[in-house]
Amino acid sequence: MRRLLYVLAVAVAFFALPFANRQGPFVSVAALVLASVGLALLASAHANAVSVGTGAFAALGAGVLGTTSPAAAGAAFLMLVFAERTMRVRGNIPRAVHVLLTLIAGGMSGAITAMYVNAQPLVYGVACATAAVVAGLPLLIEADHPVAHALDLVASDLPVDVRTSLREGATILRESADIPLDPEVEKDVQTTWKSLLKLAQARAKVETHTRARAGKHVQGVVAMLDKRIAEHVSLLSRAITATDTANAARLGMDDSALKSVKSAGLALEATGEALVDIDEELDAPTSARVAAK
């Protein structure tokens, strides 16, 4: 759904920007910056300062390069729009492919829209829709969950025990992202994930003080934070496992489709037997049918 929303937003932005350009420099610049930041946030799929910043730079790149090379402007624009998402792609090769897709898709989108910008509105609308679909190609490369990515980053600078807990939490989040949850349960789970991330960030800050001077009060705070982090991870693991098990049990107990197929099969068997009886009766000699009567 978010990917479809992104593609629709890109199509609308491509279609509306030329009209905004005719309203003067202030409206043109404001529309370009707002569209760039909005698309960067949609591509990232969560609110964050990095996407706002890269979206603003995307507007700058498109404005500077747009008059000389629409393809280069589109490539720079899309690469910066997807910059935050690129950082969350796991693995060097997938990340490189993601960057390559942003450059190629951005260049193609810029060239397509520039080619038909002076065409009839209907033709230009089709061109914008085509360019939007092309601009969505980087979404085919999966990116890490924002919270899981943040947990991994924070964990990398922490001691082994708490690092293990945080990375276990990140793994649980990745594996449970597609598990359907009840609205109330999902709200509580999301709140707990955010609380875990805040605890991890607080733990990372305390770690810098621990390295500088390990006083008793600092060690007490460290122990408390480590315990709370472990409790959060354990609680989330149990909640998600229980939900996944309940969903599996619900699917196992739902035999309505099986009963429907069974009923249909019995009906077809009865129909087949009736047709065989009729066929045998029609094939019998007339004298036999008369005698039977």
Cα–Cα distances in Å, from 199 out to 21, 121, 222, 282? Answer: 47, 53, 11, 83
Two tokens, residue 243: 């939900």
Query: In this structure, which amino acid lies at residue 172?
Result: I
pLDDT in tens, 236-269: 888 777 776 766 666 666 556 556 666 666 666 6
- Give the chain's mean pLDDT: 83
Is residue 140 packed enough to be buried (19+ CB in 10 Å), middle (13-18) or exposed (0-12)?
A: exposed
Q: What is the CA radius of gyration of the chain?
A: 30
- For residue 282, what pLDDT is reported? 61
What pLDDT does residue 129 have? 94
pLDDT of residue 36 exceeding 90, the answer is yes
**What is the residue whose two structure tokens read 């760039």?**
36
**Ranges of each domain in the chain:** 2-140, 146-253, 266-292
Higher pLDDT: 145 or 186? It is 145
Alpha helices (H) along 116-182 = 121-135, 146-155, 160-176
The structure's pTM equals 0.75
pLDDT tens track for 90-138: 999 999 999 999 999 999 999 999 999 888 989 999 999 999 999 999 9
